[in-house]
Amino acid sequence: MRRALAVVTAAVVLSSIGTATAAAGPRTAPVLRAPAGGFEELAVPSSMGPVRVQVQWAARGGSSALYLLDGLRAPADHSQWTTDTDVLRRFAGDDVTLVFPVGGHSSFYTDWYRPSSTNRQATTYKWETFLTRELPDFLAGYGVSRTNNGIVGVSMGGNAALTLAAHHRDQFRFAGAFSGFLNPTYPMWNQAMRAAMLDEGGFNIDDMWGAAGDPAWSRNDATVQVERLRGLPIYVTAGNGVPGPLDVSNGVGNTINAAGIEAFALIAASVFRERATALGVPARVDFGAGTHTWPYWQQSITTARPLILDALGAH
């Protein structure tokens, strides 16, 4: 995504920057109970086929859960949250199950209209259905609540975290977006996303939400949907694109791209804050130094941790 957005940055600036299976019925088998603490990988059935999900069980067997979503380059074999941050260690003593869906490369964690027509995708992405019906139904078999969940995401997953929470208030009690693209209906954003998705896996954005102006775009725009978030604890962060000490190991080329992308995320977070303020929807929005990289998102989840635990009653 960094490479693609770097390519379209100049054009955008000049252009004026200025749901799948039915709910599970009564169980006929005994309900399994999750262990108190520990890490495990699950294979969860879905309309997309089996989906790998990594979990760290609540320290004392509690029922609350926090879903953590990856960015555009989401790997097929693990969640980057588990390898690129210290979130497993940081939440190890907390009574909340961490849920890391694996995959979703260039998906925006949404239900697509059809398989991508430009890369021979075999199945249609149905991530909203998975995250709000199939996965919580499966985890309920381990004693995880369907209704006392939080959700956070980075970059691509940031907008998804807020929009999923907006449309599924019965499931989520906290939502957070770190360097998220929170206003995809903003002029030229669809073209930036198109370029990024083609670069990252050859995906066709028209097969996701249709052409610009299709109602799916507004439905999946966190800024447009902010009224639906009223009363929900929200935490949004973005950096200013200025590299800092955490960028030292990222390499000069990567740092330049990450700086440019984060400048877009800053604009999106600012627009989100302005709309939330205008509507009187409380939301904590923090701006700081930094680029579009995992070390800064580790800082964000560290700050968000007490807010999440309060919202879920998971101390």
pLDDT score of 253: 53
User: Is 227 one of the annotated active-site residues of the chain?
Assistant: no
Q: Confirm whether 202 is domain-assigned.
A: yes
73 by Cβ neighbours in 10 Å (0-12 / 13-18 / 19+) ranks as middle
User: Is 155 one of the annotated active-site residues of the chain?
Assistant: yes
Q: Which domain holds residue 185?
A: 2-10+52-312
- Of 46, 64, 107, 155, the active-site residue reads 155
Q: Confirm whether 122 is domain-assigned.
A: yes
pLDDT score of 14: 25
**How is residue 152 written in tokens?**
């956070």
φ/ψ of residue 149, rounded to 5: -120, 150
CB-based contact 310:96 (threshold 8 Å): no
Q: Confirm whether 113 is domain-assigned.
A: yes
Q: Confirm whether 41 is domain-assigned.
A: no
pLDDT score of 12: 34
Q: Calculate mean pLDDT across residues 217-230.
A: 98
pLDDT score of 247: 81
Q: Confirm whether 269 is domain-assigned.
A: yes
Q: Confirm whether 181 is domain-assigned.
A: yes
- Of 63, 116, 128, 292, the active-site residue reads 292
Kindly tell me if the per-residue pLDDT of 246 is higher than 70.
yes
What is the value of pTM for the model shown?
0.89
Q: Calculate mean pLDDT across residues 43-59.
A: 98
pLDDT score of 32: 63
- 42, containing H or E segment: strand 39-44
The CATH number that applies at residue 140 is 3.40.50.1820
Q: Confirm whether 20 is domain-assigned.
A: no
Question: pLDDT by residue (tens digit) across 112-158?
Answer: 999 999 999 999 999 999 999 999 999 999 999 999 999 999 999 99
User: Is 78 one of the annotated active-site residues of the chain?
Assistant: no
Q: Strand, helix or coil at 235?
A: strand
Q: Confirm whether 111 is domain-assigned.
A: yes
Q: Count up the domains in the chain and report the number.
A: 1
Radius of gyration of the chain (CA): 18
